[in-house]
Amino acid sequence: MGTGRKLASALLKTALRHSSAESRCWAEAMLGELDFVESDWAALRWAVGGSTALLRHSASRRGSRWLTRALGPEGEPTSSRKKALGAVLGVGLAGAILALGVCGLWRHLVVLLPQAHWERATIAVIAALEVAYLRGAIALWRHRRPVAVGILLAAVALTVHVAIHTQASHESHLTGPDEFR
Amino acid sequence: MKPPRLRRSPQTLQVLDFFLSSPKEWKHGYDISQSTGLLSGTLYPVLMRMAERGLLETRWETPEGGRPPRHLYRFTAEGLRYARELRAERSGSKARKALLHPRKT
């Protein structure tokens, strides 16, 4: 047995150990096919793809069990609850991307740019994020509409927030610092 | 009975078409992958969804030579009916499209 096949087998066995009860049978199915895959390289690809699918399946089963428990005795989440959760997920996703973008911006900003340019750079990064949100929402609109709606809501909230901030800073520039003394 | 809801992705349609080619035969996962060109990471989620919705039945086969058992898949009666209906629907919509937008020669 070649190294690639050994690695593939080890990978699928690890996935099998960590699989949920519902996914275990599928992990065994993938492992059973491994002996019939021709080359070591193909076996490794088979194992990587299979393990990813198993992890996703296990995670979704565990997630839906948790959801059923969290939503109380009524059991199965209703369609409107699913939509609401999708929208919350979209907002969360947009928030995480924003946090990453802002962190990345500040790391570079402090080192590379003088303070006078910070505001413009922040607006440029936020504009890029808005474009990314819009593209993401368009891509998800057909199959994951609630998530797309969540992303759009976050984009609108961010735009309003930036507009208010920009206006406030503009007004403070116009009135001058003496007013606040 | 609740109708099976399956996302009609091109990959799912490919797998359904493959099973429709010989609906009575049991198929191995790797053979399906070879015939459809789908990788394991794409194929197995489709098979899982189909089995969960009662469109596929599964069984284990023990090969000779101490090899691990293999999982086999075949359409259930419900799965076969669903796949045939879907194919009829698809060919109907193709025909409608051809009527609405005839190709210029």
Residues of B with CB under 8 A from a CB of A: 7, 28-30, 33, 39-42, 44-45, 47-48, 67-71
Question: Taking 90 as the threshold, does the pLDDT of residue B35 lie above it?
Answer: yes
Instruction: Kindly indicate the confidence band of residue A70, based on its pLDDT and cuts at 50, 70 and 90.
Output: low
**Per-residue pLDDT tens for A89-148?**
888 888 888 888 777 777 777 777 777 777 777 778 888 888 889 898 898 888 888 888
Per-residue pLDDT at A173: 63
Phi/psi of residue A72, nearest 5 degrees: 95, -165
DSSP A93-149: HHHHHHHHHHHHHHHHHHHHS-GGGHHHHHHHHHHHHHHHHHHHHHHHTTT-HHHHH
Question: H helices within A19-78, ranges in order?
Answer: 21-33, 40-70
Instruction: Kindly indicate the confidence band of residue A181, based on its pLDDT and cuts at 50, 70 and 90.
Output: very low
At B74, which helix (H) or strand (E)?
strand B70-75
Per-residue pLDDT at A127: 85
Question: Taking 60 as the threshold, does the pLDDT of residue B105 lie above it?
Answer: no
Per-residue pLDDT at A174: 63
Cα–Cα distance, A151 to A92 (Å, whole number): 8
Question: Taking 90 as the threshold, does the pLDDT of residue B5 lie above it?
Answer: no
Cα–Cα distance, A25 to B54 (Å, whole number): 16
More confident residue, B103 or B98: B98
Alpha carbon B46 to its chain centroid, in Å, reads 8
Question: Taking 90 as the threshold, does the pLDDT of residue B55 lie above it?
Answer: yes
Question: Taking 80 as the threshold, does the pLDDT of residue B94 lie above it?
Answer: no
Output the CA torsion sign for B20, B26, B31, B33.
positive
CA nearest neighbour of A26 among A42, A11, A12 = A12
Whether the predicted model's global pTM rises above the 0.80 cut: no
**Contact A76/B at CB under 8 A:** no
Question: Taking 80 as the threshold, does the pLDDT of residue A18 lie above it?
Answer: yes
Instruction: Kindly indicate the confidence band of residue A179, based on its pLDDT and cuts at 50, 70 and 90.
Output: very low
Closest A-chain CA to B60:
A29
Question: Taking 90 as the threshold, does the pLDDT of residue B96 lie above it?
Answer: no
Question: Taking 60 as the threshold, does the pLDDT of residue A2 lie above it?
Answer: yes
Closest A-chain CA to B27:
A33
Per-residue pLDDT at A118: 76
Alpha carbon B41 to its chain centroid, in Å, reads 15
Q: Which residues of A touch B39 (CB under 8 A)?
A: 45-46, 49
Q: What ipTM does this complex have?
A: 0.83
Average of per-residue pLDDT across B60-82:
91
Classify each residue of A72-110 as buried b or exposed e, where b means 16 or more C-beta atoms within 10 Å of its C-beta.
eeeeebeeeeebebbbeebbebbeebbeebeeebeeebe
pLDDT over 90 for what percent of chain A?
A: 20
Of B30, B47, B70, the CB nearest to A37: B30
Per-residue pLDDT at B78: 93
